[in-house]
Amino acid sequence: MVAYFLRRILWLIPVLFTVSLITFIIMRSAPGGPWDTDAERRQVDAATLKSLEAYYGLDKPMWRQFVAYVFVDKNSVTREWVCGLICGNLGPSYRQHGRTVQSILFDPPPKESFWQSRFGYSLRLGLTALSFAVIFGIPIGVVAALKQNTLWDYIGLFIATSGISVPSFVLAIFLIIIFGSWLGWIDIIVDSWREIKYWIMPAMVLGFGTMAFTARLTRSAMLEVMRQDYVRTARAKGLAERVVVFRHMLKNALIPVVTILGPALAALVTGSFIIETMFSFPGMGGAYVQAIRQRDYSMIMGTTVIYALLVAVANLSVDLAYVLIDPRIRLEE
């Protein structure tokens, strides 16, 4: 177990390196730079632009820039050695002068807790959306399987199919128009996200697709488990239906469901930038979209690496959870 865990941890190193390299190549292949917009507006003259590029090392060859970001390099202006990504340094923001990527994403406002940071907001939104998906998705799947080919089954399949078919941004637009514009039940422009009522719609929109997939997967797993011999044996022994469903059927049917929960949480956190942008949510997604618009290279690189790390850790957590759910599963040393 320990050897497997350590081996998987070490595999994160080449994964993150590959993600960083691909992101760097794609990012630098796109036209434009961090200060192009300012230069077009004549807010930055040629001399200042040259000084900025020299200060941040953008005047060096691309391979030098990548090595400097990932490993270590000497600043051509301050003459100081700076350790890069291998030391956990995500670099300074090119657009928000005087701030690092870590401070933008992880530092809360003064006298506030970590949960008020951009990463804290995105993590809370992802956890809320995942809770919504699990609380509604698993019961819908269970009821649809137990009431197969009945009205309840058809309703569950309709909800699941709709959630998978309708994109989240389309659902968000409809809900904003219906509940915000027509009915006036919610505020379209939110001044503060401290009240829980403002989180309901973004969490529902973000988690609706995961809820639908969870419902369909739970239904399929339950239908497969229902036909197993041990379920028929449990019923032949005279056990109550509640005991058969929850102790013998649902526990085994949840194995494929748990498989997707870890990556689902990572996907909800990393894929929330569309929903965050639509609802003006103060999370990582909004900062990521803004960084792409402004060609803030270090911000793009740092956020992408964090997203990749979240996905990799989520996949590892799923493998470890297998053993806790099903004792028959053993990890190879």
Work out how many domains the chain is built from and give that number. 1
Residue 333 burial (CB count, 10 A): 8
Residue 314 lies in a domain: no
Does residue 329 come out as left (phi exceeding 0), alpha (psi in the -120 to 50 range) or beta?
A: beta
Residue 302 lies in a domain: no
Tell me what pLDDT residue 232 has.
82
Which residue matches tokens 């900025």?
52
72 burial (CB, 10 Å; 0-12 / 13-18 / 19+) is middle
What is the pLDDT of the chain when averaged over all its residues?
A: 83
Tell me what pLDDT residue 305 has.
92
Residue 192 lies in a domain: yes
Band of pLDDT at residue 328, cut at 50, 70 and 90: low
Residue 307 lies in a domain: no
- For 81, the 3-state DSSP assignment is strand
Question: Pseudo-torsion of CA 113, 262, 125, 112, nearest 10°?
Answer: 0
Report pLDDT digits (tens) over 54-110. Answer: 888 888 888 888 988 888 877 665 667 778 888 888 888 888 877 889 999 998 888
Total number of residues shown for the chain: 333
> What is the C-alpha to C-alpha distance for residues 23 and 20, in angstroms, rounded to an integer?
5
- For 20, the 3-state DSSP assignment is helix
Domain of 159: which CATH number?
A: 1.10.3720.10
- For 77, the 3-state DSSP assignment is coil
Tell me what pLDDT residue 39 has.
47
Residue 25 lies in a domain: no
- For 72, the 3-state DSSP assignment is strand
> What is the C-alpha to C-alpha distance for residues 133 and 122, in angstroms, rounded to an integer?
16
Q: What global pTM score does this model have?
A: 0.82
Q: What is the DSSP letter of 107?
A: P
75 or 242, greater pLDDT: 242
What is the domain extent for residue 149?
114-289
Residue 208 lies in a domain: yes
Report pLDDT digits (tens) over 158-189. Answer: 998 988 888 888 888 888 888 877 877 777 77
Q: How many helices (H) and strands (E) does the chain have?
A: 15, 2
12 contacts: CB under 8 Å, gap ≥ 6: 309, 312, 313
Residue 83 lies in a domain: no
Secondary structure (DSSP) of 113-145: -GGGSHHHHHHHHHHHHHHHHHHHHHHHHHHHH
245 contacts: CB under 8 Å, gap ≥ 6: 142, 146
Tell me what pLDDT residue 333 has.
47
Report pLDDT digits (tens) over 25-54. Answer: 988 888 777 877 654 455 667 788 788 888
Residue 256 lies in a domain: yes
Which residue matches tokens 């569950």?
156
Tell me what pLDDT residue 332 has.
52
Listed as own residue / partner, the contacts of 47-56 with beta carbons closer than 8 Å and 24 or more positions apart are 52/94, 56/92, 56/94
